[in-house]
Chains A and B, each alone.
Chain A
Amino acid sequence: MTLRELLGAIAAGALALAALPWLASDFLLSLALTCLMYIGLAVTWAMFSGATNYLSLATSAFFGIGAYVTAWGFGSLPYALVVPLGGLAAAAFAALVGAGILHLRGAYFAVLTFGLGELVRHAITYSEKTYAHTVGRVLQDAPESSVVYWTVLLVAAAAVAACAAVRASRLGLALAGIGADEERAQTLGVDTRAAKITAFAIAAFFAGALGAAVAVRWTYIEPASVFNPFIGFQTVLIAMIGGAQTLAGPMISAVVFSLLTELLRLQFPYAYLIVLGVLLIVLVLYLPGGLASLVGRWRRVRA
């Protein structure tokens, strides 16, 4: 498929999904919304981390920053403005931090990005307590669920389209080059630093926008719930299981896992997480390329 056909397919899919609020029940709609949220998160995570092999655990930090932009801005600013603002705030944060930490590789980078989420969470908790004298914030007059759904759909579709475009661009090639051998890419004239920061910020933009868009679903916003590291882990897990080097892999596994999570997590919270843990271990050990690598293997066998 060429890029233009791919973008057309994404637009067509998004248009078809836009009809859902008239067809489905509230429960199905919220299920679909969760699926879309994880599609957007997993696809953009894979765009940066899957290509470069920089394991970022900062998704929950970006998501939480977006959600807090909503918490602060919603009410005085329109919803349509809060969502891109949340994305921009997260992207600015990512660019700033990325400039400082993107020269670190491997476990250091992963741990540091994980620490970022905690750092921002603790900083917000502290400043809210000291200056605003609150623990959390209550959101009033949330938009209708169909409006939230369309917004999330739009952001998720834009995320997928952006990833498709990046993959086909010079930036995408530079990212893949960094993942294969960063020093070689540098020697061949790729500005690896700029490429990494740009991609990191793009991924952060969508995570932040999704956080800002989804935040209105919760009437009460507090740091512990929006900076939940579970969102970050689940995103990594989804992308890895689907195959972080592909575009379709994370999308498919996002749907599967969001459904599983929504159905099982409330009923069997601990058992579900145990199963998730075991699944992650087994998958990393026996299928490190993700489910998408199965398709490739199957094709090779048939050929």
Chain B
Amino acid sequence: MGFWLELAASGLITGGIYAVVALGLNLQYGLMRIMNISHGEFLMLGAYLTWLAHTVFGINPVAFLPVVAIVLFLTGLAVYRLCFRRITRTSPSVEIIEARSLLVGFGLMYLVQNAAYMTWGADLRGYSFLADAVEIGGARFAGNSLLAFGFAVAASLALLAVLRWTMLGKAIRAMMQSPTGAQLVGIDTAFLHPAVFGAGLALAGVAGALLSMVYEITPGMGEPYTVTALIVITLGGLGSAAGCLAGGMLLGLVEAFGMHFTSPSLKMLLSYAVFIAVLLARPKGLFAR
């Protein structure tokens, strides 16, 4: 019993992180059709920032979370201003925005990832934080992964609440439904687009910071998370934040149980199989009506 609980919980913990990573990407894609394939690279930046703060200055990683979020938010504003603003303004159609932003994303991926390799080298880095085991209902968990899970769920729920109940969230949802209509009723695109892009990167950074508490980090750690985020978005449906949360948890569970019954080296294969199956069978997402 304890074993199955542990397996399910470990799936949900990874799933929580997946949800946060995917939420940021989903916001950007759903709102602006920007397919930012370098999303995972900013997750990696968040992880390295936290690692630096903890090992060099001895700052508590949890206390550092808001700083990571703000730094990545500002980075997002800068990246949007430098790269994506021009694309959204000059592209004749949505499809071309998608294609061009994808290519720019690849460029950013090269840029950020290799800059990180140059700065920090290819070694695995890590620190020990709350690594003691906690026992709940006969199952044992590392304290740091429970903490990461708690923060991931809290961040996802906070975002859902903002989208659902605030004026800002209403404006964002309106823009997702009809960009032109939203502009006609006076929603300010010039303010919302960069802000949402920044928020997406901030979420990625927070996810990275949480991951750095649990796992060791490398400059190449972000790429698999980008792919996973895309899978989660496909599962949950484009532009659906609640779907993202559910999809993330679901993928976490599928991976945990799938790896247990087959073999850990099949993890990526399992994710891709889920991805392709969903794309073929339900391209609008599992929860689409």
Residues of A within 8 A of B (CB): 53, 55, 100-101, 104-108, 110-112, 114-115, 118-119, 122-123, 125-126, 129, 233, 236, 240, 269-271, 273-274, 276-281, 284-285, 288
Whole-angstrom distance from the CB of B139 to the nearest CB of chain A?
30
Q: Does B225 contact A (CB under 8 A)?
A: no
The secondary structure that dominates the A interface is helix
With A107-B98, A122-B269 known as contacts, the answer to whether A280 contacts B110 (CB < 8 A) is yes
Contact of B111 among A106, A122, A233, A277 (CB under 8 A): A277
Q: Which of B96-122 contact A (CB under 8 A)?
A: 96, 98-100, 102-104, 106-111, 113-115, 117-118
- Residues of chain A within 8 A of B115, CB atoms compared: 270, 274
- Residues of chain A within 8 A of B276, CB atoms compared: 100-101, 112, 115, 119
What string of 1s and 0s marks CB contacts (under 8 Å) between B76-114 and chain A? 000000010011001000011011101110111111011
Q: Does B265 contact A (CB under 8 A)?
A: yes
Q: Does B161 contact A (CB under 8 A)?
A: no
- Residues of chain A within 8 A of B275, CB atoms compared: 112, 115
What string of 1s and 0s marks CB contacts (under 8 Å) between B247-277 and chain A? 0000000000000000101101100110110
A-B contact pairs, 29 of them (CB 8 A): A55-B102, A106-B35, A106-B98, A107-B98, A107-B102, A110-B102, A111-B227, A112-B276, A119-B272, A119-B273, A122-B265, A122-B269, A125-B265, A233-B110, A269-B114, A270-B118, A271-B118, A274-B110, A274-B114, A274-B115, A277-B107, A277-B109, A277-B110, A281-B83, A281-B104, A281-B108, A284-B100, A285-B86, A288-B90
Query: Nearest B residue to A272 by beta-carbon distance?
Result: B114
- Residues of chain A within 8 A of B265, CB atoms compared: 122, 125-126, 129
Q: What number of A-B contacts does a CB cutoff of 8 Å give?
A: 114
Interface size on B, residues (CB 8 A): 41
Q: Are A126 and B107 in contact (CB under 8 A)?
A: no
Q: Does B29 contact A (CB under 8 A)?
A: yes
Q: Does B279 contact A (CB under 8 A)?
A: yes
Whole-angstrom distance from the CB of A35 to the nearest CB of chain B?
22
Q: Does B185 contact A (CB under 8 A)?
A: no
Task: Give complex CA distance A122, B98 in Å.
Answer: 28
Task: Give complex CA distance A269, B121 in Å.
Answer: 12
With A104-B279, A126-B265, A126-B269 known as contacts, the answer to whether A285 contacts B83 (CB < 8 A) is yes
- Residues of chain A within 8 A of B100, CB atoms compared: 284, 288
Q: Are A273 and B35 in contact (CB under 8 A)?
A: no
Q: Does B63 contact A (CB under 8 A)?
A: no
Q: Which of B104-150 contact A (CB under 8 A)?
A: 104, 106-111, 113-115, 117-118
Whole-angstrom distance from the CB of B252 to the nearest CB of chain A?
19
Task: Give complex CA distance A90, B106 in Å.
Answer: 25
Q: Are A104 and B106 in contact (CB under 8 A)?
A: no
- Residues of chain B within 8 A of A271, CB atoms compared: 114, 118
Q: Are A284 and B269 in contact (CB under 8 A)?
A: no
Whole-angstrom distance from the CB of A64 to the nearest CB of chain B?
15
Task: Give complex CA distance A103, B91 in Å.
Answer: 23
Task: Give complex CA distance A288, B115 in Å.
Answer: 25
Q: Does B190 contact A (CB under 8 A)?
A: no
